[in-house]
A and B are shown apart, each in its own frame.
Chain A
Amino acid sequence: MSETNSTPVLFTRAGIAAGALRTLPVATGGLAFGVFYGFLAGQNGLTLLETALMSAWVFAGASQFLSVELWGDPLPVGALIATVLVINARHILMGATLGPWLKHIPPWKAYGSLYFMTDESWGLSVADIRNGGRDAAFLLGSGLTLFLFWNTGTILGRIFGEMLPDLNRYGIDFLGTAFFVALLAGFWRGRGDLIPWIVAAAVALVMERYVPGTWYILGGALAGSLVGALRHVR
């Protein structure tokens, strides 16, 4: 990977701006999802404080949607925390791949930036690393942009949710899927990726059907990436 690149890793305002700019299109989708999340949270009995706090402090869409579904009286405390841990376990693999940037900057900047790491900002950052990007602040700029849009959407959705028209008819619900498919296309490096990706997709599809929760992302990713690594190293 870019480990052999001798250009020093920077952490600049320009990097924050570059990350923010690159993230704006998907952040718009994040705003729409944030509105939807806020609306759903209100429907499931979360107060405005709880709804807003979850977006600011947990800041992980998939786990927030599921938590809101599990929300009730009495609160299933153990299930809520376990679910969040399981869904977000993928972050462990993701954070490790950002080493080429983060190990060259002060720890407080690295661990501060990681607070804002999401699927989207991580995906864009890994793509930037792969393209030779050497400004680690890209991750923070991307994450902060998503944070701002997600939290704004959350509060708007919680307060004004009841007045929303049905946006799904206009395909807005597909924005997330389209985003991840477009991102996937960007990771294609050649025919060597075909078999690992098919393995990842197949394992994910089987697990999604038969294993409760969202282990399927972790399971598919591990299976596919291990197959790819074994084929590559041998």
Chain B
Amino acid sequence: MFGEYQGVAVIALMGLATYATRAGGFWLIQRMRPSRFLEVWLGQIPGAVFAALCAPLVLNSGPAGWIAGLLTLAVARLSGNFLAAMATGVAAIALLRLM
């Protein structure tokens, strides 16, 4: 309809929309003085984002994923080693799928 570069044009718009979300939060926070509540709230966001992201991600990956997710969490908490936690999760799911 818009020629062979329609896809490229749509991707250009998608990129602009994405950059607006990346830059927008910092732009806004500079233009309003954060209240005590806002500061506490922002501090709570990272954990909440990953809890919201992980819950369906783990639950939807089936029983093997539930066990591997729990093992990843346990190793991350106990050892504090990021790489070891990830390796444990991937190894666990690979083994569980073989069973």
Contacts and interface: CB of A to CB of B under 8 A. Distances in A.
Sorting the interface of chain B by its residue count into under 10, 10 to 19, 20 to 34 or 35 or more gives 35 or more
B15 A110 contact: no
B94 A170 contact: yes
A58 B90 contact: no
A180 B49 CA distance: 10
Given A94-B49, A224-B44, A216 B56 contact: yes
Interface of B is mostly: helix
A98 B86 CA distance: 25
A57 B16 CA distance: 8
Nearest to A47: B7
A146 to B, nearest CB: 13
A45 to B, nearest CB: 9
B99 interface: no
Interface of A is mostly: helix
A47 B85 CA distance: 37
A229 B73 contact: no
Contacts of B82: 25, 182-183, 186
Interface in A19-59: 25-26, 29, 46-47, 49-50, 53-54, 57-59
B46 A85 contact: no
Sorting the interface of chain A by its residue count into under 10, 10 to 19, 20 to 34 or 35 or more gives 35 or more
Given A77-B10, A178-B85, A204-B56, A226 B76 contact: no
Identify which of B57, B68, B75 gathers the most chain A CB atoms within 10 Å of its CB: B57
Given A205-B59, A220-B48, A224-B51, A181 B29 contact: no
A3 B65 CA distance: 39
Given A92-B28, A99-B30, A1 B53 contact: no
Interface in B7-32: 7-8, 10-15, 17-19, 21-30
A226 B41 CA distance: 6
Identify which of B23, B46, B59, B73 gathers the most chain A CB atoms within 10 Å of its CB: B46
A197 B54 CA distance: 11
Contacts of A115: 19, 22-23
The 3 closest A-B pairs by CB, nearest first: A220-B52, A95-B25, A178-B89
Interface of A: 1, 3, 25-26, 29, 46-47, 49-50, 53-54, 57-60, 63, 67, 71, 74-75, 77, 80-81, 84-85, 88-99, 102-103, 110-111, 114-115, 117, 119, 123, 126, 169-172, 174-189, 193, 196-205, 208, 216-226, 228-229, 232-233
